[in-house]
Amino acid sequence: MVLVHTNVTPDRTVGFVPSGAMTKPVRRKQHDANSLLQVAVRVFNERGYDGTSMEHIALAAGITKSSIYHHVDGKEALLGLALDRAIDALDGAFLPAGQALEDFGAPIVAIDGVVRRTTKALLDDIEVITLFLRVRGNSPTELKAIDKRRDFDKRVSELVTLAADAGDIRADLDPPVITKLVFGAINSLIDWYKPGGRLTDDQVVDHVSALVLDGLRHR
């Protein structure tokens, strides 16, 4: 997890009691850089990054804007920290094709491994990965994330091509299109998955794997 930033002091908390606290009971909010980042990511996902101001984050965090600047440089720095966290989480899942083959053996097993790992990574860090998948490319920080998305996409597409060449997957399928469809299914989790639903995370991973490898048809 990347949380290193010049203006971040992860072990320090800030407390702020708004004016009026003497007359009305106000819950005192304390944040370290990590909990502040969690709040910021939640607000970015709710309002969209472009529609979020530092005021929105301060309000959601229950602290002042200046308290936030005590932790980070600003909105884009918060975005950068969140995206780095998403990229770290996904980097160990979207293995380069060569390494996936080395780790898992047969190409079809490697595809299953990558599909399972990325799904699990998404469920484990769904907030930052939601942000990562929705970023639109309006700043250098966002463009870096988009480059990374392309890189991940390319790794899987190469693996699917290798699997096709090895005869492990059906020859009538176009690797880039199949890669897009498979990750369309996986990425859709950010739109509908609710933690604590009827299925455990592991069962959701099993469902994704079953669909991708063998489809719905009963044999």
- List of residues contacting its own copies (CB under 8 A): 48, 50-51, 108, 111, 160, 163, 167-174, 177-178, 180-189, 191-192, 198-199, 203-204, 207-208, 210-218
Task: For 214, list phi and psi in degrees, rounded to 5.
Answer: -125, -5
Amino acid (one-letter) located at 33: A
Q: How far apart are CA 189 and CA 126, in angstroms?
A: 9
Smallest gap from Cβ 217 to its own copies, in A, equals: 5
Q: How far apart are CA 136 and CA 132, in angstroms?
A: 9
- Closer residue to its own copies, CB minimum distance, 103 or 174: 174
- Closer residue to its own copies, CB minimum distance, 54 or 211: 211
* CB-based contact 39:57 (threshold 8 Å): yes
Smallest gap from Cβ 83 to its own copies, in A, equals: 18
Smallest gap from Cβ 88 to its own copies, in A, equals: 24
Q: Residue 127 CA to chain centroid, in angstroms?
A: 6
- Closer residue to its own copies, CB minimum distance, 27 or 198: 198
- Residue 198, judged by CB atoms within 10 A of its CB (0-12, 13-18, 19+), counts as exposed
- Closer residue to its own copies, CB minimum distance, 120 or 180: 180
Smallest gap from Cβ 171 to its own copies, in A, equals: 7
* CB-based contact 104:132 (threshold 8 Å): no
* CB-based contact 183:86 (threshold 8 Å): no
Dig out the tokens for 150 from the structure: 């392309």
Smallest gap from Cβ 189 to its own copies, in A, equals: 7
* CB-based contact 83:131 (threshold 8 Å): yes
- Closer residue to its own copies, CB minimum distance, 63 or 204: 204
Smallest gap from Cβ 106 to its own copies, in A, equals: 11
- Closer residue to its own copies, CB minimum distance, 9 or 188: 188
